[in-house]
Amino acid sequence: MSVEQAAEVAVQALRWRDERLEILDQTQLPAREHYQALESVEQVVEAIRSMQVRGAPAIGIAAAYGLVLAARNRLAGLSAAAESLRAARPTAVHLQWAVQRMLAVEVGAGQSLQDALLAEARRLHAEDAQANRRMGETGAALLNNPCRVLTHCNTGALATGGWGTALGVIRSAWSAGRLEQVWVGETRPWLQGARLTAWELQREKIPFQLIVDSAAAALMQRRLVDWVIVGADRIAANGDTANKIGTYSLAVAAQYHGVRLMVVAPTATIDSDLADGAAIKIEERGAEELTRCGDQVIAAPGTPAFNPVFDVTPAKMIDVLVTEKGYVRGPDRFKIRSHLRSP
């Protein structure tokens, strides 16, 4: 099955064309749909770092194609290229996993290194799109009907190989007639909810309303939310989950108000080497992301700011974890280990 067949969505976050990687520049959405052509691994690193391409699965796929470009440009070995890709976004384990998988590629008879790497990158891309569909169907089947869902950040086709993780569940629920309403948190400071998730939902005519992040608890208090559904950038062995900053706040509010929390992520996001969430490295970015909104200055010059990009939600606050293998209710170390061993 090709990427396009598995995704079945009109938008692709990235594509390989004419011996180069093309990414839909997400920093320009929703105002402009522009594919940026990347022809070197250095350009891929910068696109990941600058969030032109973002979302744990999507940056892993981008890194895979980045190593293809490194091989094409005849770099002396791939290790330096791999290290620069790994360092571009340190929290998302899917990036590390994809790079390691690419480095393990074996060159077959009659193949060049570039051909072997390209075949593996395409395989990884298609597998992610297919896994998205399975997660979407699994998660949608767990929702009550009709369901009102609150989601955070962007976890759709823009963040993955196609269809989406948390937003993939929402897409599948809408297709199955199980969805009534989506609440979209704006997701400061990069506004991935307002700029990207709303854009994807609007294109597919899925009913939604945009909210400021701080309105979520008030919606729950008014009993207007049945599920909070989010993605993940890294999941520790015990189920503690790192996701976009603000996810932990949603989990706290959801637990207090009796709203269920679903985390949707491929098994490649689970880092079995990390015992718990305390060991997850949290990326911090510059103060200007808080003191400005686009080109608009919103804080006095020189204002100090603390800007962690992710937070960690304890496993005990997660009702269900959905992966391409199925789902785990009340995830913990033992349940996750058993889940990973399942076919």
Provide the CA 282 distance to its chain's centre, in angstroms.
Answer: 15
- Per-residue model confidence (pLDDT) at position 59: 94
- Per-residue model confidence (pLDDT) at position 35: 96
Asked if residue 24 lies in contact with residue 7, where contact means CB atoms within 8 angstroms, the answer is: no
- Per-residue model confidence (pLDDT) at position 112: 86
Q: Which residue has the tokens 């990427």?
A: 3
Catalytic residue among 233, 240, 311, 319: 233
- Per-residue model confidence (pLDDT) at position 202: 96
In angstroms, rounded to a whole number, what is the distance separating the alpha carbons of residues 175 and 207?
Answer: 12
In angstroms, rounded to a whole number, what is the distance separating the alpha carbons of residues 257 and 145?
Answer: 19
- Per-residue model confidence (pLDDT) at position 90: 82
Q: Is 295 a catalytic residue?
A: no
The pTM of the full predicted model, rounded to 2 decimals, is: 0.91
**Residue-by-residue DSSP string for 224-236:** --SEEEE--SEEE
Which residues 6+ apart lie within 8 Å of 228 measured at CB? 149, 150, 151, 152, 250, 251, 254, 259, 260, 261, 262
- One-letter amino acid at 21 equals L
**Percent of the chain, pLDDT > 70?**
96
Sign of torsion, CA 254 256 260 265? positive
- Per-residue model confidence (pLDDT) at position 278: 96
- Per-residue model confidence (pLDDT) at position 73: 79
**Residue pLDDT, tens place only, 71-112:** 987 765 788 899 999 999 887 788 989 999 999 988 886 788
For the chain (length 343 residues), average pLDDT per consecutive 10? Answer: 50 92 95 94 95 92 95 77 90 87 85 91 95 97 94 96 95 96 96 96 96 98 98 96 98 98 96 95 93 90 95 98 98 97 89
- Per-residue model confidence (pLDDT) at position 134: 97
